[in-house]
Amino acid sequence: MRILIVEDDASVSHWISSKLHVSGHSCKLVDNGEDALKFIKNEVFDVILLDRIIPKIDGIQLLGLLAGDPHPPVLILSANDQTSDRIEGLRAGADDYLGKPFDFAELLLRLERLYCRSKQVASSNFIKIKDMIINLERHEVTRSGHRIDLTNKEFKLLYVLAEHPGQTVTRSMLLEKAWGYHFDPQTNVLDVHLSKLRNKLDGGSKNPIIRTIRSVGYALG
Amino acid sequence: MRILIVEDDASVSHWISSKLHVSGHSCKLVDNGEDALKFIKNEVFDVILLDRIIPKIDGIQLLGLLAGDPHPPVLILSANDQTSDRIEGLRAGADDYLGKPFDFAELLLRLERLYCRSKQVASSNFIKIKDMIINLERHEVTRSGHRIDLTNKEFKLLYVLAEHPGQTVTRSMLLEKAWGYHFDPQTNVLDVHLSKLRNKLDGGSKNPIIRTIRSVGYALG
DNA sequence: TTAAGACTATGCGTATTCTGATTGTTGAAG
DNA sequence: CTTCAACAATCAGAATACGCATAGTCTTAA
């Protein structure tokens, strides 16, 4: 994730950014509302971590300025953890709120949630289903933490399924999306690749992640 | 919004529900996890308000059971407002978390946010008749909560009937829609499959969901 | 040349669908 | 009230379709 941290207390912002780095995310630090606004307008971030009280433009004001046009989800970080403050923050358009002092694990979790959510809406950088994470950018799939190597076709197949988690995706849909066939090829390509995919994903475990809906298609989850 | 409140402390749940009523929302109250699960399976809610500690099935467990298939967003309500608890709740699949004591305004705000968000993502596609839910996307039928496995033909048949709930669907209509026959096949395919469907749907119970309209066709409900 | 991935061919086991015969119901005519 | 014919429901077995696995072929890129 690319994260913009808007926070005037340097010790806090550095602590957060170093921790986020370790978790594999990249951060940009900014200590006032004015600069924050500039960066938001000019660069692409996945999430914004916003302290409520910052110089020049206050956090809430900043949200007001952002409102209307599309922007990354905002998590407000604040020393005031009164409900009234939380309400104010959320009303102003924040997507989440975390009071200080906070736990880094919780911060990370919330950031990731925001990220997933926004991605799912404005389609795609990683999709999460049960304990499986599909990273579209990196073409990488992990299940309960450890990597699973997929071939290109397998990945495409999984991706098409993952676009509609839980829903039944018809065979023709799969053929169309993963192969570009607009007709029924008289072969069993689909079956073969799906079989392989299945093996890799839940290699023999009960509780398979891909269900078969006979004579219709397949479904994830 | 239609809200399911899962909370064993009657005073709390009544307070919330009355307030929500005033705000123009309708609530269903449930005081244990088991009933909650039943209701979630059988009825349609926009949001679920879930107390963490409830009888029979714990809040976190309940989330585990829901995970995987689509369900309304869940806001956890809990006396424990430690970060570790919050993390646990969110990890388990909750969509938001609010610690007691809380402010009603904040609760309402958060519920509305959850609702808006879920509306944006998916308007799931299903038909409900009595205690039966036909989920078209998932190609799945449940009756009073538990799944009923149907073959493709059976599903199609049911679907054609369900498109006109209560109305009589003629035999020729069924043959046409489910088989693509534009004529009367001189067999009793329809009868056979309808018989099977009936068995699966209301396996011997009185109060069958499919009625026979003699010499015309069938009707649902 | 090798190796990996994508596709084809084939066969097996099983779930599903269909057929035809049998039994059960219903409602109107006698 | 009985009888009868039309219609509906059920059953078992035959026929079929479908999904899955395995093994082999083809293509491309290292």
Q: Which of B94, B2, B95, B7 is nearest to B44 (CA)?
A: B2
Contact assignment for B109 to A117 by CB distance below 8 Å = no
pLDDT score of A123 more than 60:
no
pLDDT digits (tens, 9 = 90+) for A147-180: 889 999 999 999 999 888 888 999 999 998 999 8
The domains found in chain B, sorted by start residue, are: 2-121 (3.40.50.2300), 126-220 (1.10.10.10)
**Two tokens at B215?**
């010499």
Q: What is the pLDDT of residue B9?
A: 92
Please state whether strand D lies within 7 Å of residue B216 at its CB atom: yes
Closest-CA distance, B142 to chain A, in angstroms, reads 15
**Mean per-residue pLDDT of chain A:** 86
Q: Is A215's CB less than 7 Å from nucleic acid strand C?
A: yes
Is the shortest CB-to-strand distance from A180 to strand C under 7 Å?
no
Nucleic acid strand D within 7 Å of B171 CB: yes
Could you say which residues 71-100 of protein chain A have a Cβ atom less than 7 A away from any atom in strand C?
Answer: none
Cβ contacts from A onto B, under 8 A: 58
Condensed to tens digits (0 to 9), the pLDDT of residues B46-99 reads 899 999 989 989 998 898 888 756 688 899 998 877 777 787 888 787 888 888
Listed range (A20-24, B7-11, B51-55, B109-113) with the worst mean pLDDT: A20-24
Give the chain A residue nearest B105 (alpha carbons): A87
Contact assessment for residue A96 and residue A110, using Cβ atoms and an 8 Å cutoff = yes
B76-81: long-range contacts (C-beta < 8 A, 24 or more apart)? B76/B50, B76/B51, B76/B52, B77/B7, B77/B49, B77/B50, B77/B51, B77/B52, B77/B102, B77/B107, B78/B51, B78/B52, B78/B53, B79/B52, B79/B53, B80/B52
Closest nt to A179 (CA→C1')? C6
Query: Parallel, antiparallel, or unpaired for β A217-220 and A126-129?
Result: unpaired
Contact yes or no for A90 and B110 at CB 8 A = yes
Phi, psi of A181 (to 5 degrees): -75, 135
DSSP string, B12-49: HHHHHHHHHHHTT-EEEEE-SHHHHHHHHHHS--SEEE
Query: How far apart are alpha carbons B106 and A83 in whole angstroms?
Result: 7
Alpha helices in A163-215, H assignment, sequence order: 171-174, 189-202
* C-beta atoms of B137 and A164 within 8 A: yes
Report the Cα B140 to chain-centroid distance in Å: 12
